[in-house]
A and B are shown apart, each in its own frame.
Chain A
């Protein structure tokens, strides 16, 4: 029994870091542009399909395919920002609705191009680690490590570099930051491209673990937004912790409670958090 629980804990933590990295994108975008970008889910889907395309169809080695996928999604994010989201800065409801329109357009285009038949990528890194009776696929551990590294690198960049601190300053007080010489429009565009790149990375790594469907982003973005709110929107380390908490809640919850309601446990948890600690679990901390 404990093996099952620990197994689900581990699995939940790994899926949780995937939620966490998309949540990080949600948090960064919100801090800088003032909107909750649900369209990050479709960028994740785009990243997943791009990685699959470059690895399996073009035949690039997997790490290179991931890199290309990240570049492609950041570029797509840049285009979307300049064409659409530039006009919805700090308007939460409009931003939400534009991102929903974008989801409809991109998801249906993906359905037309790649059909709803799930795509399977070749096994990048077969084999499993076995210890104490637990079995974890190697690839999952690699993804876990990589995502953690990226999240901590982001954290370091935000606190240690000039542009990272400028982003913080901008999130706190846009006008004061502009007066101190922060190039605000370039900063906004940069952060948006970085966030979509993170979503693309999540997608590209997802492609090596699970099969791909055009709707994969929609489910993920809901979880990511839940994770970001859970942690308190604006908190970088919190996004990771929120993701892991959500993943573990789902994993462990589905052992004891009916599986059909798996997607509801996180929501119940979220509602309780919002009611009793509306600023999120880790609010006030970076």
Chain B
């Protein structure tokens, strides 16, 4: 119950925030943080809760971003239908990749390597299929998705404020789905698989099915984040599918914390905001990013959220 109150307070604060603090730059950064947060939360379903270090997350994100644009252009469907189709495409790809990996019982490092291999193949395909994807130059996305809003009817999403609420809702939905999954019977199965999948198997848990479920659901949420991200940014490039992107997601999750559903959002927020607050060159930014990653792992293995929680509990007990 106490948790419910906290969630309501934070949600209300975030809804009211743009009315009080209406800066276009700040809102833009927040939109990016929310969309990255969506990626991190959905990745954590696979990594933190089910224990599978997937390197396919950036691929799911990027494939959906490209697919949304291509469906709109070549099938002539509207943005939201294209997003649904893209998510379906990513789901289909994830089922194939996941089924291969899990059927052959690839674990830990081997799972990471094989998903990385599939992810690289997807990136090379996007990079080299020039007629569809325009190769390394990427694509400029001119149009903005339409949305029905109470009071104004159907509008094109032009203003940052509209995007702010859209991304907030999307992040909220992601948190809700992940939270419901993790705190259910299915979540218990995920935990069993994370701790010892062979033991889970002997206890009658269908390890293959639950690993695949986590993988596919996580990737589908990444897919939605991908098509939103691309259309907010207004461009597409093969870098969406890069290894660096996958590692960035891992860093957000580790920095935030992997034991709580919402914790990765903190990591996403810090890593997205930091470069905007302090103007570094790209190299220095990368050095800071690497240092944060090393520091988190060696000094704060539970992440910011986990660390703060522990301090608070210690004070409470004292």
Task: Write the chain A residue with the least CB distance to B290.
Answer: A104
A225 interface hit (Cβ, 8 Å): yes
What's the dominant secondary structure at chain A's contact region? helix
Q: How many A-B residue pairs have CB under 8 A?
A: 99
A275 interface hit (Cβ, 8 Å): yes
Is B121's CB under 8 angstroms from A268's CB? yes
Chain B residues with Cβ below 8 Å from A260 are 124, 127-128
Cα distance, A92 to B297, chains bound together (Å)? 12
Decide yes or no: A105 and B287 within 8 Å by CB, A98-B297, A260-B128, A264-B124 being known contacts: yes
Is A107's CB under 8 angstroms from B128's CB? no
A278 interface hit (Cβ, 8 Å): yes
Task: Among A101, A108, A278, point to the contact of B284 (Cβ < 8 A).
Answer: A108
**In chain A between 90 and 110, which residues have their CB closer than 8 angstroms to a CB of chain B?**
92-94, 96-98, 100-105, 107-109
B114 interface hit (Cβ, 8 Å): yes
Chain A proximity of B172: nearest CB distance (Å): 29
**In chain B between 278 and 303, which residues have their CB closer than 8 angstroms to a CB of chain A?**
282-284, 286-287, 289-294, 297-298, 301
Chain A residues with Cβ below 8 Å from B290 are 100-105, 108
Cα distance, A51 to B8, chains bound together (Å)? 60
B195 interface hit (Cβ, 8 Å): no
Chain B residues with Cβ below 8 Å from A105 are 286-287, 290-291, 294
Task: Among B112, B120, B283, point to the contact of A263 (Cβ < 8 A).
Answer: B120
Is B108's CB under 8 angstroms from A101's CB? no
Task: Among A88, A101, A112, A278, point to the contact of B104 (Cβ < 8 A).
Answer: A278
Task: Among A92, A97, A258, A267, point to the contact of B120 (Cβ < 8 A).
Answer: A267
B106 interface hit (Cβ, 8 Å): yes
Chain B proximity of A46: nearest CB distance (Å): 15
User: Using a Cβ–Cβ cut-off of 8 Å, how many residues does chain A contribute to the interface with B?
Assistant: 36
Chain A proximity of B60: nearest CB distance (Å): 18
Chain A residues with Cβ below 8 Å from B292 are 101
Is B293's CB under 8 angstroms from A101's CB? yes
Is B289's CB under 8 angstroms from A104's CB? yes
Chain A proximity of B84: nearest CB distance (Å): 30
B132 interface hit (Cβ, 8 Å): no
Chain A proximity of B42: nearest CB distance (Å): 19
Write 9 A-B pairs (CB below 8 A) sorted by A numbering: A84-B298, A94-B297, A94-B301, A104-B293, A267-B117, A267-B121, A274-B104, A274-B110, A275-B104
Sample of 13 more A-B contacts, CB < 8 Å, known A105-B291, A268-B117: A88-B297, A92-B108, A94-B301, A97-B251, A97-B297, A101-B291, A104-B286, A104-B289, A108-B282, A108-B286, A271-B118, A274-B114, A275-B100
A residues with CB within 8 A of B: 36, 84, 87-88, 92-94, 96-98, 100-105, 107-109, 111-112, 225-226, 229, 258, 260-261, 263-264, 267-268, 270-271, 274-275, 278
